[in-house]
């Protein structure tokens, strides 16, 4: 890694994503607090560990209302709920 580049930028520049059609959630970004961003065809099961509060899961085969989820619990016992957008 060259001087002057942040760790996040280096990791994003060098990320090689896994296929979207896998059942096990694939991590995109992880910090010391846990997984912050992940994706897959099966959302993490509630009470799983390792997902930071506020972690976003992208459901790659989801539909309207089930494409994005957020962990609204702790890193020790996740609770992923669908992100909804209020109609205008």
Average pLDDT, the chain: 82
pLDDT at 36: 94
* SS3 state of residue 68: strand
Where do runs of H (alpha helix) occur along the chain?
Answer: 7-13
Residue 88 lies in a domain: no
Alpha carbon distance 85, 40 (integer Å): 21
pLDDT at 33: 92
Residue 23 lies in a domain: yes
- Torsions phi, psi for 83 (to 5 deg): -85, 125
Residue 22 lies in a domain: yes
Token pair recorded at residue 53: 């509060």
pLDDT at 84: 84
Residue 2 lies in a domain: no
Residue 4 lies in a domain: no
DSSP state of 66: S
pLDDT at 17: 60
Instruction: Read off the pLDDT of residues 23-63 as tens digits, 9 standing for 90 and up.
Output: 778 888 899 999 999 998 888 999 999 999 999 999 988 77
């Amino acid at each position: 890694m060259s001087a002057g580049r942040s760790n996040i930028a280096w990791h994003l520049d060098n990320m090689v994503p896994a296929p979207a059609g896998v059942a096990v959630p694939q991590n995109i970004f992880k910090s010391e607090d846990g997984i912050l961003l992940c994706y897959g065809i099966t959302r993490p099961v509630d009470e799983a560990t390792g997902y930071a509060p506020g972690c976003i899961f992208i459901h790659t085969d989801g539909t309207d209302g089930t494409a994005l989820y957020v962990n609204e619990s702790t890193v020790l016992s996740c609770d992923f709920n669908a992100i909804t957008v209020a109609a205008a």
